[in-house]
Amino acid sequence: MKSGIPWWICLGMAAWHGGVNVQGQLDPVERRLVQLGYNQPVEGQGPLAAYGFFYLNDPAFIRTNLTLRLAVAPIYMDSELGVREVLPNTDLGISLAGGGFADSYSEVRGGKYWKQESFTGHGVDPGLSVYHRFNPSQEIPLYGVARVDYHEAFFERDDKTDDAFDLPDQLGEFRTRAGLRWGGQEPLILPDLAMELSVWYEGLFRRAPDRYGYDRDREVNGSTHLYWARGLLAYTLPESKQQFGLSLTAGTSVDIDRFSAYRIGGVLPLVSEFPLSLPGYYFQELSATRFVLLNGDYRLPINPAKTWFALAYGATSLMDYTPGLEQPGHWNSGVGGGIMYQSPSKAWKVILGYGYGIDAIRSHGRGANSIGIICQFDLEANRGDQPSDSHPGINPNITKGVDWLLGR
């Protein structure tokens, strides 16, 4: 593949497992955000890890009871029209997502990116969601979420895909998700304040299960069931402006396959609604059937205006691997640090970071290094601080087009 397009206009969005986009509730805050992120490994070559998109949330779209949420990348779009109070304390969301390269698959096994077993995928995903608030009189919201959608994916070879490697046939699947979320987090990088406890179930039901690979040695299961939970806390000390964040995510599954596995690795905080980050690792390097992941970060202001921060972060995870993608050892950990600039109005936030994957497997043994940059521009920063009780989430299918546009 060839591309003469500059990298800075080529950014798409990155993907987590399966790719269902579900919000905890309709976001009540007007937002216009530009988000950019990029990770680069120092040793070896992993799947491209980058996202770039414009995010819009209009809580009074055409009529006061309609909310439009829109995430637009150069070759991908994720949209939802929300209707508030269709029933008492119950909102409805009608969504449509899709575009090029969103369903591409990268095979990473034993610390190596196997380009000959990776391929391109395109897809479309219409869906319907219901958000019910159980405690309208309380300050911290408790929402129940139910969603159904249909996902259709189409696959084609990359220029590096082995001719002997059989691609999956066209993949259609019905998806259901149900969850409870208490609290939430805004769609911002390292928010000043957030709290969430949530539990989730997701079922994937394939219309025509298939086999693919060398001599069709890999299976796409007819159905997969995923169960996970997350707790997180982010807080800023009022006077010193020191900030910290902690999150604990755990998941398990039944009948998981490569397409539905939990993909863990890299540091891209808005890569999905539930980012599974491990500093120093390739993007989505590890595929797990069940896991526990602990993440933490700490930010210390280093100038009187409190616009520059020193940043430290780390993560550790215990996991069981997806069949066919096993590797020695079930613990994987990473640490990192960097510097963050936040403009006085909070319109700009830029992070330059370094990560070290303590247990990452590379050709020299264990240990891997990576660098990265994350940027956020808030076009609504002058509206003042209005912490939202929601986390709209970004569609997880977001950077696959970068591989094509950059000729990778």
Helix (H) or strand (E) holding 401, with range, is helix 400-405
Cβ(130)–Cβ(99) below 8 Å: no
Query: Which pLDDT belongs to residue 210?
Result: 87
Cβ(317)–Cβ(332) below 8 Å: yes
Q: Is the pLDDT of residue 154 over 50?
A: yes
Q: How far apart are CA 193 and CA 242, in angstroms?
A: 12
pLDDT band for 48, please (50, 70, 90 cuts). Answer: confident
In one letter, which amino acid is 397? Answer: N
Query: Which pLDDT belongs to residue 382?
Result: 67
Higher per-residue confidence, 385 vs 369? 369
Residue among 202, 91, 90, 183 at smallest CA distance from 139? 183
Q: Is the pLDDT of residue 146 over 70?
A: yes
Average pLDDT over residues 77-89: 96
User: CA 377, 382, 385: angle at the middle one, nearest 5?
Assistant: 95
**The token pair that represents 388 in the structure block:** 């939202």
Q: Is the pLDDT of residue 42 over 90?
A: yes
Q: Is the pLDDT of residue 391 over 90?
A: no
In one letter, which amino acid is 401? Answer: G
Q: How far apart are CA 97 and CA 249, in angstroms?
A: 26
Cβ(269)–Cβ(235) below 8 Å: no
pLDDT in tens, 283-296: 999 999 999 999 99
Q: How far apart are CA 140 and CA 118, in angstroms?
A: 44
pLDDT band for 74, please (50, 70, 90 cuts). Answer: confident
Non-local (6+) Cβ contacts of 8 within 8 A are none
Tokens 């109005």 sit at which residue?
A: 345
Tokens 């936040």 sit at which residue?
A: 342
Q: How far apart are CA 256 and CA 288, in angstroms?
A: 9
Q: How far apart are CA 394 and CA 186, in angstroms?
A: 11
Domains of the chain in start order, with CATH, are 7-405 (2.40.160.50)
Q: What is the DSSP secondary structure assignment for residue 266, as one 8-state letter?
A: B
Q: What percent of the chain has pLDDT over 70?
A: 88
pLDDT band for 272, please (50, 70, 90 cuts). Answer: confident
Average pLDDT, the chain: 89
Q: What is the side-by-side order of every strand in the sheet holding 165-166?
A: 165-166, 210-214, 218-220
DSSP 378-396: ETTGGG-----S------S
Cβ(33)–Cβ(53) below 8 Å: no
pLDDT in tens, 3-19: 332 333 334 434 333 33
Query: Which pLDDT belongs to residue 25?
Result: 81
In one letter, which amino acid is 147? Answer: R
Query: Which pLDDT belongs to residue 383?
Result: 59
Pairing status of strand 243-254 against strand 286-301: antiparallel
pLDDT in tens, 220-247: 999 999 999 999 999 999 999 999 999 9
Residue among 218, 213, 248 at smallest CA distance from 233? 248
